[in-house]
Amino acid sequence: MKTQQKKNWMPYLIIGISLLTLISCDKNKAKLVDYIITVDHVYVNNCGGSLTMEVYNQYDEMFKSYNLEHGDSINILTTDEFVPALFYFDSFTDKIGDSVIVKFSNGKCLTYLDQITNNKIFNEEEYDNYHPELIKPGIPYTLYYTFTRKDYFEAVDCE
């Protein structure tokens, strides 16, 4: 009779342990998700004319291009990462922006490179509404970058 009792409670024990394991895994997953930062990157054209943003990878291959008329804006990228990421469209290097060229309608250009310090478009602290208080895990936010007349006048002849 004792062997019969041992056989009956064993499946319940296995089910109970499995459920506890699943519940603890789900709790750990929820904690991990709380640390993900979701940010929208919106680019606004307020320079007085049209412009084109071209995104290049480390191989100097353009893989994204955006046309913006004066007054237009575009949400180029929403990142869901542990740290904010600019121009990361995929985890493969051919889809990660290494440089951005902004071409204005008058044949002038601005070039931004990721590896240069204080390169405005690759530095989230240079965005219009950046504030450290925005960056809170689990709370989505939007960063705006506006191209102004000043950018237009700083542009040089395109090569």
Residue-wise pLDDT for 91-123, tens only, equals 777 788 889 999 999 899 999 998 876 678 988
Higher pLDDT, 80 or 32: 80
Domain spans in the chain, listed from the N-terminal domain onward: 1-34, 37-157
* pLDDT value of position 15: 61
% of the chain exceeding 70 in pLDDT:
74
Place of tokens 């931004």: 112
**CA nearest 157: which of 113, 112, 99, 107?**
107
pLDDT tier at 22, thresholds 50, 70, 90? low
Burial of residue 123, with CB atoms counted within 10 A of its CB: 0-12 exposed, 13-18 middle, 19 or more buried: middle
